[in-house]
């Protein structure tokens, strides 16, 4: 028997009329479509990752920045109450401030405040113990804040209900009995100071 003949297929049949150009274009088209989708998915993933990273880094940065901008006073320094915040917070101010004289000073920073009517504000594992600066004619009101354990006596409007007004300041004295109305007085042991109050 003779050899079987194998028919030769013209090149233009499987390579295309232009030497494979049509096939190449088809392959490039398919690859291009999938490549575009992969690129889009990769872009979306990157945006998601960067967004999460921004939140993780940004939120603590804002909180830290807020705390850095509000400087807590040290023992002996003067402070003013931070306005327009839900928590009871104070910031350090100069004691000789000409306008809006600071109404408080720091008597101690410790695990527990000394004996007296201090405003104890948490400070890490300790408490900052604020006392009112000596002033006659200043009114105090009793308020409860979410970040302190018990109601505190802070400076306020004399028109508020149950407001108390300072009528005398006893320096170097930690003794409410020396005031006409001991039940209304505020006293601190460090530094020793007693504020005699009456109903406003």
- Overall size of the chain counted in residues: 200
In a domain? residue 4:
no
Q: What is the pTM of this model?
A: 0.63
53 and 98 together in one domain: no
Which pairing describes strands 104-110 and 119-123: parallel, antiparallel, or unpaired?
A: unpaired
The reply to whether 163 falls in a domain is yes
| Spatial distance between the Cα atoms of 156 and 159, rounded to a whole number of angstroms | 9
Domains identified in the chain, total number: 2
User: Are residue 118 and residue 53 in the same domain, yes or no?
Assistant: no
As a whole number, mean pLDDT of residues 154-181 equals 95
pLDDT tens by residue, 23-67:
445 445 544 555 556 556 766 676 666 656 555 554 444 334 434
Q: Are residues 107 and 136 in the same domain?
A: yes
Clarify whether residues 86 and 164 are in a common domain. yes
Whether residue 52 is found in the same domain as residue 144: no
The secondary structure of 92-151, three-state, reads EECCCCCCCCCCEEEEEEECCCCCECCEEEEECCEEEEEEECCCCCCEEEEECCCCCCCC
* Residue 2 belongs to some domain of the structure: no
Structure tokens at 138: 């200043």
Residues 52 and 96 in one domain: no
pLDDT band of residue 135 (cuts 50, 70, 90) is: confident
Answer with the one of 69, 96, 117 that is the final residue of a domain: 69
User: What's the pLDDT score for residue 101?
Assistant: 74
Range of the domain at 109: 78-199
């Amino acid at each position: 028997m003779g050899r079987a003949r194998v028919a030769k297929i013209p090149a233009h049949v499987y390579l295309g009329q232009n030497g494979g150009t049509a096939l190449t274009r088809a392959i490039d088209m398919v690859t291009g479509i999938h490549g575009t989708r992969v690129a889009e998915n990769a872009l979306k993933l990157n945006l998601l990752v960067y967004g999460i990273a921004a939140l993780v880094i940004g939120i603590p940065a804002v909180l830290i920045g807020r705390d850095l901008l509000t400087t807590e006073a040290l023992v002996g320094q003067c402070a003013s109450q931070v306005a327009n915040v839900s928590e009871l917070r104070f910031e350090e101010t100069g004691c000789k401030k000409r306008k809006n004289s600071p109404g408080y000073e720091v008597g101690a920073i410790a695990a527990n405040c000394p004996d007296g009517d201090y405003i104890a504000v948490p400070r890490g594992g300790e408490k900052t113990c604020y006392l009112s600066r000596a002033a006659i004619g200043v009114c105090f009101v009793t308020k409860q804040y979410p970040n302190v354990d018990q109601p505190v006596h802070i400076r306020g409007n004399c028109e508020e209900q149950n407001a108390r007004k300072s009528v005398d300041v006893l320096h170097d004295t930690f003794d409410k009995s020396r005031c006409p109305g001991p039940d209304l007085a505020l006293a601190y042991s460090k530094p020793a100071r007693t504020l005699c109050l009456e109903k406003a």
